[in-house]
Amino acid sequence: MRGRSSTDRLEALSLEIERKLQKALSSNSQRLQILQQLFADIALKVDDRARDAIMSENDAGIAPLDEREDGWLCFYEILANHFVRVPESGRRILELIVQLWSQSFASNIFALLFYKWLFEAPVDGKEISLRYSSALVQGATNVFWIDIQTNTRHFLSLYRYLLEDVALVPDRLTKISLQLQKLKIEPVLLHYLSRMSILQGLELRLSTSTRLKACLYSFTSPGGPTYPTRAVRHAAWNTLDLLFPIGRYPRHVISLFFRLLYPWYWPSSCWNFVMTCAMTLYYYILNLLVSIWESLRRSSHRRTHGE
């Protein structure tokens, strides 16, 4: 009885969301205000009485309150679960959001209500899936900055789901090495390599680990087939050492040995080594002088106040 009652209440909430979207679609003057209010409503925290009324035994995708870092539950989490279990319930809402695609807060509402549906329910057509994915990225980015600017974690469930149940799923991790090999623009490649630190400590499959290690290693050596720049080589070394610390020093020794087999790389390598040492020494001396100056200034200040 409780499950049917909670489903009925969620259907009522869905109809209310649909009604507000229809109102926004028909009212040009109040459209922004209505969408903003709807976004605020679905992002509200659920109080104890409402939680007991709309939560069902089937809400397995929602962590219990005592296991949550934020300590509260929001309406969008329950609705997102509901639209996965009952896709027909959100079909009309989705159609209305698509008609409001270019409006502010439309992508935010889509991201909160359908972030699970997009990955767990069948989507018709690759082009439609790509459009929904773009809207999800835009909406997730917007709500991320809302949390940053308000110093809250209202949308932590959204980020956690995208990270743990989408990005870091073992079957999807196998694509990382393929994506790396396709990246040809240096700033994008450097950004991608720097963000791979999130994989640190994860237990990767042997095949995934081997492919990733080989892919990163290919970026550590000059020349073909990737012809990486010096910045990319250093970023690849840092990522490789971070993700696979075992065997770090033997890898560097082997790399140095192979570099010695190509004499035409010696001048640039020696020059970069000398410049790196010079810069390191320069900053060391500079920090030493600054620390000595600060120490002298503090001792002089103490003597002055002591007198």
pLDDT at 59: 53
Asked whether residue 247 falls in the same domain as residue 129, the answer is no
pLDDT at 135: 93
Of 167, 183, 202, at which residue does a domain stop?
167
Asked whether residue 130 falls in the same domain as residue 197, the answer is no
Asked whether residue 138 falls in the same domain as residue 213, the answer is no
Asked whether residue 151 falls in the same domain as residue 101, the answer is yes
Within a domain: 288? no
Asked whether residue 98 falls in the same domain as residue 149, the answer is yes
Q: Cis link prior to 225 (omega < 30° from 0)?
A: yes
Within a domain: 298? no
Is 81 in contact with 112 (CB distance < 8 Å)?
A: no
pLDDT at 10: 87
CA distance linking residue 281 with residue 275, whole number of Å:
10
Q: Count Cα atoms within 13 angstroms, Cβ side, for 228.
A: 25
Within a domain: 287? no
CA distance linking residue 294 with residue 289, whole number of Å:
9
Within a domain: 163? yes
Within a domain: 228? yes
pLDDT at 207: 86
**Location of structure tokens 């807060």:** 105
CA distance linking residue 204 with residue 70, whole number of Å:
29
Asked whether residue 179 falls in the same domain as residue 113, the answer is no
CA distance linking residue 79 with residue 83, whole number of Å:
6
Domain range for 31 is 2-167
User: Structurally, how many domains does the chain consist of?
Assistant: 2
Asked whether residue 134 falls in the same domain as residue 209, the answer is no
Asked whether residue 158 falls in the same domain as residue 201, the answer is no
Asked whether residue 220 falls in the same domain as residue 71, the answer is no
3-class secondary-structure state, position 74:
strand
Within a domain: 12? yes
Nearest alpha-carbon partner for 43 in 129, 183, 158? 158
pTM exceeds 0.75 for this model: no
Asked whether residue 101 falls in the same domain as residue 191, the answer is no
User: What tokens does 14 get?
Assistant: 């869905």
Is 64 in contact with 23 (CB distance < 8 Å)?
A: no
pLDDT at 67: 54
Of 261, 280, 298, at which residue does a domain stop?
261
Stated as kind and residue range, the H or E segment containing 150 is: helix 126-150
Within a domain: 280? no
Asked whether residue 88 falls in the same domain as residue 213, the answer is no
pLDDT at 253: 78
Asked whether residue 209 falls in the same domain as residue 158, the answer is no
pLDDT at 23: 95
Is 78 in contact with 65 (CB distance < 8 Å)?
A: no
pLDDT at 65: 53
Is 118 in contact with 133 (CB distance < 8 Å)?
A: yes
Of 167, 202, 234, at which residue does a domain stop?
167
| Residue 154, CA distances (Å) to 62, 76, 112, 116, 143 in order | 14, 10, 11, 17, 9
Per-residue pLDDT of the chain (307 residues; tens, 9 = 90+): 344 567 788 899 999 999 999 999 999 899 999 999 999 999 998 887 767 667 654 555 565 555 555 567 889 999 999 999 888 988 999 999 999 998 989 999 999 999 999 998 887 778 888 899 999 999 999 999 999 898 888 899 999 899 888 888 877 787 888 888 888 888 889 988 988 888 888 778 888 888 898 889 888 877 667 778 888 988 999 999 998 888 888 887 777 776 667 676 667 767 777 887 888 899 999 999 999 988 888 877 676 666 5
- List of residues 6+ apart from 168 with CB closer than 8 A: 198, 199, 202
Is 259 in contact with 269 (CB distance < 8 Å)?
A: yes
